[in-house]
Amino acid sequence: MPFSLSFRFSYFSLLKSAVLFSIFLLFACNEQQDKLKIENTREQSEQVQSQEIAKQQLNRGVYTNFVQDPILLVNEGQAEFLRDIFEGLTSYDTQGNVIPAVAESWQTEDNKNWTFVLREDAKWSNGANVTAQDFVQSWQNLALSDNPAKIYLRFMNISNAESVLNKTLPVDKLAIFALNERLLHIQLDKPTPQLPAMLAHAILLPKNLASGNELIMNGAYKVTERQEKQILLEKNPYYREWEKVYFDQVMYKDIRQTQTEEPLDLVLNTKSRAENLTYLPKLCVYFYEFNFSHPHLKKSAVRKALISMATIPQNLFPEQIQPSHSFLPHSLQLEQEDVCEPTIVEKLLAESRITEKAPLKFTLTYDQSDVQEKIAKKLIQNWGQSDLIRVRANPVSKEELLKKQAMGDFDIIRSGWCADYKEPSSFLLNFHSISPDNKMGYQNPQVDQLLEKALQSIDEKERNSLYVEVIKLLQQDKVVLPIFQPLLPIWQKNILGIEKNNDTGVIYSKDLYRNDKTE
């Protein structure tokens, strides 16, 4: 049958339509694929961007509310945040050493009159200069506040501080003076060579009082957003070393109500029981004090005998405790720890006229915490092995312990000391015969003279040599029974810049960076 023209036309029309449809379909599929590729690329880009942003934000957790004024400071958690947004005259490096901060240098000729030179490039977050008058006004404001920590002004030995705090002198008599915009003069009522170390305390951070209610900062970061349970910080472009700061943002979160630290990067003094926590030393020591009014305990031979028997096994100490044989933290031990020498206990006690018929009797007072009770019971067990010793246990509450110690109502009592600044004198001055913190009644004229001479010296090497002599005398006298140095547990995730020998408890966000290799 002949092929009809109409059929041929219809056939070619259909064929053409099919080809065009196929081409359209191909282009449509390609267009759809291109859209998917673009969307995937966009998602990947946003994901990478999100990851990059996350890398540049440090998330810190604290077990406290937030305050934005140093004079409202009441705990270390608040101090962490304040140290990121404010900077004082001195601060700490990552090793825990005191370094210049807003003050670039200082000088003194007698350890009583000090002049601090402020950095020319020290700025507030609004671009204004940080001045000596800012510190004068901030510390005067502290003196007028209701914060009990204002007593630190007296601890620093600032002239007239006690009278100003007692309100018998006006606040402008507090002996801190702005000589000009960059020179700050501090007058003390007694030699205090440790003043630069003391100035790193968070309660002394400055505030720009001229700004009124506006929050102006001079630290590495500034506040950009605040909610009830968290505060967001970003780098302060006016901070002198802002380009060296790794994290663009820092988020502080109040984690008192949360159950885990997992989403966070860093938590100091964590309550977490997670494995592989980091432990840093603290500027604290725990020991037992002897009452030097006790007829037997005032004798160094008896104290030596008791100390030689006071061996505490390692398994009694939890991870956050480091056994110690010194009344100084490890970082301040200018002399080697006192090594226990072989001691014939009975001989030492007999020389002090202690016998089975007239045994050494004393009460051991300690607080009723789990660790302290275990240690106390072990001591009692050790001493009880001698027929010449009779010990009565006296477990009390922490409040009762402090009360008994303050009143001198003890024979041997659990004690300890944590320093506000990193310098040997923060511990050694407690053993001066007239120190208000010398509750034992210990007196050694040589120790007093050496400490007083050290306070007069403006040479650090000479001062340390004198401290070494003091330490030797205290070791010879067996003044206290050292037990342990507590450690600071830290939760941290892929964060670098934390030095394990830093015992100040101070970690600035500006010194930290992320370990990107573990991401």
- Residue 3 has what pLDDT? 37
Contact 132, 182 (CB under 8 A): yes
Q: How many CB atoms lie within 10 A of CB 32?
A: 10
Establish whether domains 62-265+493-518 and 281-487 are of one fold: no
- Polymer length in residues for the chain: 519
- Residue 314 has what pLDDT? 82
User: Tokens standing for 486?
Assistant: 């507590």
- Overall average pLDDT of the 374-383 stretch: 96
Rounded to whole angstroms, the Cα distance separating 37 from 187 reads 71
Q: pLDDT by residue (tens digit) across 404-457?
A: 999 999 999 999 999 999 999 999 999 999 999 999 999 999 999 999 999 999
- Residue 315 has what pLDDT? 82
pLDDT at 48 over 50: no
pLDDT at 7 over 50: no
Element (H, E) at 132: helix 132-144
User: Tokens standing for 184?
Assistant: 């700050």
The CATH code belonging to domain 281-487 is: 3.10.105.10
Rounded to whole angstroms, the Cα distance separating 13 from 138 reads 92
- Residue 37 has what pLDDT? 62
pLDDT at 11 over 60: no
Across 168-182, 331-345, 425-439, least confident range? 331-345
> Quick one: the chain helix, strand, coil %, rounded to 5?
40, 20, 40
This prediction has a pTM of 0.85
Q: How confident is the model at residue 54 (pLDDT cuts 50, 70, 90)?
A: low
Across 32-46, 124-138, 269-283, least confident range? 32-46
Contact 286, 415 (CB under 8 A): yes
In single-letter form, the type of residue at position 275 comes to E
Rounded to whole angstroms, the Cα distance separating 49 from 85 reads 27
User: Tokens standing for 323?
Assistant: 């056994």
- Residue 318 has what pLDDT? 83
> What is the overall mean pLDDT for the chain?
89
Percent pLDDT > 70 in the chain is 87
**CATH for 62-265+493-518, options being 1.10.760.10, 3.90.76.10, 3.40.50.10800, 3.20.20.70:** 3.90.76.10
- Residue 275 has what pLDDT? 74
* Integer angstrom CA distances of residue 91 from 96, 187, 238, 436, 467: 9, 21, 18, 28, 24
Higher pLDDT, 319 or 20: 319
Contact 369, 395 (CB under 8 A): no
Half-sphere exposure of 213 (CA within 13 A, CB side): 0
pLDDT at 210 over 90: no
Q: How many CB atoms lie within 10 A of CB 267?
A: 24
**Rg, C-alpha atoms of the chain:** 33
Domain boundaries, the chain: 62-265+493-518, 281-487
pLDDT at 106 over 60: yes
Percent pLDDT > 90 in the chain is 77
Rounded to whole angstroms, the Cα distance separating 394 from 473 reads 30
